[in-house]
Every structure is written in C-alpha cells, then in structure tokens.
C-alpha cells in the first residue's frame, strides 16, 4: 500500500477487518478533551506486559505482578481492619484512655487579686510580682521629686478640696503677703551692719521702733549653701553679697550660659547656641535622629494640583561631589538645577543667599513617576498579549492551510495514479484493437 505523510484525522471511529468479514472497531468517546497517546519505541519484552500511560500520555510496557495480595495481616476475604491491625506511626498516634488521663486538670478559681503563674499556681498580684515597664509605679519618692509644673502663687485660704499644687500656691501667696506686711514694720532706728562669711554679725538689740518688743534677733552662722530664683536688694546701708549657686548651677556657668545665649544666631557657627529666626528656621550641620516628620495634614493645605512626576524626575540631574569645607565625598542634586525644574523644592536664605533642597519632598514626584511607568508597562503588556493572540491565530490559520494543501496534494496523487491507470488501460485497449 501507499505511505501517508503528515497528520490523518478520522472522525468518530476506525474499523480493522481480517481476511473475512470480521473486524475490530476503535471508537472515540462522544465527548472528549483532546489528548495524545505516544506509543513505546519498541514492542514488549516480556509476555503478559500491558501498556500504561503517564499524565502526559506517554505509554510504556508494564509487567503485572504474578502474585496478587491474598491476605492482610493474616486476614483473608472481606477484611475489616481495626487499630490493633495497624501499627502507629511516629507522628499521628491513637487517642487512648491512658493518654487522655494525661491531659491538664481543671484549673480551680483564684481570688480577684491573684493571677495564674506558669508553674500552675495562683499568686497575689502586686507590684512585687509585676515588673515596671513603660508605665511606672506611683511612689512617694517619685511624688516628692516631681516638678511643680503649673505652680501659681495665690493669697487665699486653703480648703480641703484643693489639690497639693493649689494648696502650695495658696501657702506661698499667704507667706508672700505676710512678708510684705512685715516689711512695712521694720526697725528704722537700728541699722544692719555687715554680712561676713555668710553669717550675720553686729546686730543691735532692739530698743526702739515699731513692735520692737516683739522682735528677736539671733547672732549665729547659718550657712547659705545655694540661692534659687531672683535675688534683689533693698533698704538703706551697705549690702555686700556673693551668689555661689543659682538653681544648683555655679554662678560662673550661669554667666557663661547667658553669654552664649546672647551670642546665639540662626547660622551654623561652631561652639555657639543656634536659635531660630523669625520664621522658625535655623542652619545646622549633620542632624541625627530616629525619625523626622513633615507637617502633611490635608487640613493645613489648599489649592491641590496634579503633578507630572515622570517629567520632573527625568529633568533632575544626580551628581557626585565633594564638600568645599572638608572635602568629604557625597552624592545629591544641585539646588540651582532643581529650582529650574521644581522651584517648590528649593529655599533660598534671605541673608546668605545659600540655596537648600527639600530632599524629603522629592518622594512625591518619585511616586507619580513610578505609577506612570507602571501604567506604560501595563499598556505594553496588553498590546503584547494582543499581538501574541494575533500571531497564534495566524499560525493556526497557516496550519489549517497546510493541512488543506496536504489533502489536495494527496488527492492530486490519487488523480495522477488513476490517470496513469486509465492511460495504461487505454494503451491496452488500443493494442488489442490493432
């Protein structure tokens, strides 16, 4: 017979006949998902082998075991297996009465002031059992060490409903009022002499003046260790005093701090205090911190506009450079170049003319540029998928054309063969006729 090349498609079924009228039919299912069976490269090597297919449709010869299972755990027939017939594995164990007895006992209730510890006992919940963390305990020492924030002196009577801070303020107001009242009742006859070595000496016994009989002076060396608050002098006579400490800080350090404060500017000057200018700005070197936050609440903003982040980023120019002051290498942007592209990111010092860049705000055009690039990528992917589908369609159509051409070529071969036979018969007919 002849040889067929290419694919041969037969619909529904094929029949293979013997030399008589007997045949074998191979029939496709009524509904089937297309698949391909690939036959082995050679015939079976052992009698009784059968064809077996993997999930890809590739077949191979497989030998069926000659001794099938006749019993399970010595049981035959319709076998019913129990837990006694199947050994435990190392992970999934049987749930037995003995193992159930090992479970945790019920926990008895404790009191409202107790907690259940890891050793399965109840303990009293107090500060000795719970360590401090962010929230500290309220102790006498901490109360005594608190600053009197919000303290105000008020000359009025203390009541039982006053807080401690308010009561202190009223007490101070009463003391101040009494001090002012007593100041007007001073002894104008006798004069204070000299304060020497932090002690009062040379005081005369009061013999005249208002309320002299009710006054008592004690000549003792009561040391003055420290002064806090403002110190002022008033009255007649000579007063000589030396301030050693103010609020626990030596007078020399207080004077030095005052000089530094008076010399402070908003510029970055070595060994000086930096203060903010009228707009709240100041100049500094490297600042280190765990986090820096920018005011960004919508309620603080107005006049919102969209930005072309990709256009801005493409126009910016990153450079590597060295600082003139110390030669340290760095990378970044040039403020003058940034100002031409995004002037909102640049600030010029009104005094020095030095320009600075808000590097943190560059994140806005970076975000928008990333979104724009992503949208373009999505568009390219969509177009690529459309092109792939078109190519696949063209390939499929070309395949169909090739199949039709092969069929036509086959039909042409048959016609040529028939034509050749007809010519032969015609020649035979002509020969006989002669």
Instruction: List all residues 6 or more positions away from 54 whose beta carbon is below 8 Å from its beta carbon.
Output: 60
**pLDDT value of residue 213:** 53
**pTM strictly above 0.75:** no
Phi (first) and psi of residue 228, to 5 degrees: -125, 155
**47 pLDDT higher than 60:** yes
The rounded mean pLDDT for the chain is: 78
Quote the CA–CA distance of 296 and 346 in Å, as a whole number: 18
| Dist. CA 327–CA 329, nearest whole Å | 6
* pLDDT value at 315 more than 90: yes
Between the ranges 121-125, 141-145, 150-154, 367-371, where is the mean pLDDT highest?
367-371
pLDDT higher at 247 or 367:
367
Residue 407 has pLDDT above 80, yes or no: yes
pLDDT per position as a tens digit, 328-360: 999 999 999 999 999 999 999 888 899 999 999
| Per-residue pLDDT at 66 | 67
pLDDT at 248: 64
Distance CA 305, CA 30 (A): 64
Does the CA dihedral 140-145-150-155 come out positive or negative? positive
Give the end-to-end CA distance of the chain in Å, rounded to a whole number: 34
Q: What is the pLDDT of residues 233-279, one digit of tens each?
A: 444 444 444 556 655 667 677 667 766 666 666 566 666 666 666 66
- Distance from C-alpha of 194 to C-alpha of 219, rounded to nearest angstrom: 12
Give the pLDDT of residue 227.
45
Number of Cβ atoms within 10 Å of the Cβ of 307: 14
């Amino acid at each position: 017979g002849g040889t067929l090349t290419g694919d041969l498609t037969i619909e529904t079924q094929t029949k293979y006949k013997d030399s008589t009228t007997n045949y074998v039919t191979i029939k496709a299912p009524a509904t089937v998902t297309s698949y391909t069976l690939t036959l082995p490269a050679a015939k079976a090597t052992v009698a009784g082998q059968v064809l077996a297919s993997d999930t890809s449709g590739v077949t191979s010869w497989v030998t069926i075991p000659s001794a099938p299972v006749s019993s399970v755990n010595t049981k035959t027939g319709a076998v019913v297996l129990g837990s006694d017939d199947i050994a435990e594995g190392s992970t999934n164990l049987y749930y037995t009465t003995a193992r159930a007895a090992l479970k945790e006992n019920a926990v008895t209730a404790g009191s409202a002031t107790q907690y259940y510890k890891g050793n399965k006992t109840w303990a009293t919940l107090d500060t000795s059992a719970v360590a401090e963390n962010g929230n500290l305990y309220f102790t006498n020492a901490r109360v005594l060490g608190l600053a009197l924030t919000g303290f105000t002196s008020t000359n009025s009577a203390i009541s039982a409903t006053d807080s401690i801070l308010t009561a202190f303020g009223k007490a101070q107001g009463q003391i101040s009022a009494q001090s002012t009242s007593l100041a007007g009742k001073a002894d104008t006859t006798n004069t204070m002499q000299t304060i020497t070595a932090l002690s009062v000496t040379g005081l005369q016994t009061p013999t005249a003046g208002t309320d002299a009989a009710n006054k008592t002076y004690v000549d003792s060396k009561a040391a003055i260790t420290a002064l806090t608050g403002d110190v002022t002098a008033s009255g007649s006579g000579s007063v000589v005093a030396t301030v050693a400490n103010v609020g626990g800080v030596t007078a020399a350090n207080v004077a030095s701090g005052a000089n530094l404060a008076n010399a402070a500017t908003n510029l970055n000057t070595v060994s000086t205090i930096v203060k903010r200018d009228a707009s709240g700005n100041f100049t500094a070197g490297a600042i280190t911190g765990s986090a820096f936050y920018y005011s960004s609440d919508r309620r603080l903003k107005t006049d919102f506009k969209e930005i072309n982040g990709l256009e801005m980023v493409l126009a910016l120019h990153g450079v590597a450079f060295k600082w003139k002051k110390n030669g340290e290498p760095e990378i970044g942007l040039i403020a003058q170049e940034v100002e031409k592209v995004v002037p909102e990111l640049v600030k010029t010092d009104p005094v020095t003319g030095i320009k600075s860049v808000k590097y943190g705000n560059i994140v806005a055009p970076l975000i928008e540029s990333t979104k724009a690039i992503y949208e373009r990528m999505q568009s390219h992917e969509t177009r690529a998928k459309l092109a792939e589908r078109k190519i696949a369609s063209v390939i499929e159509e070309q395949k169909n054309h090739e199949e039709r051409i092969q069929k036509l070529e086959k039909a042409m071969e048959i016609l040529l063969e028939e034509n050749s036979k007809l010519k032969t018969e015609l020649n035979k007919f002509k020969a006989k006729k002669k």
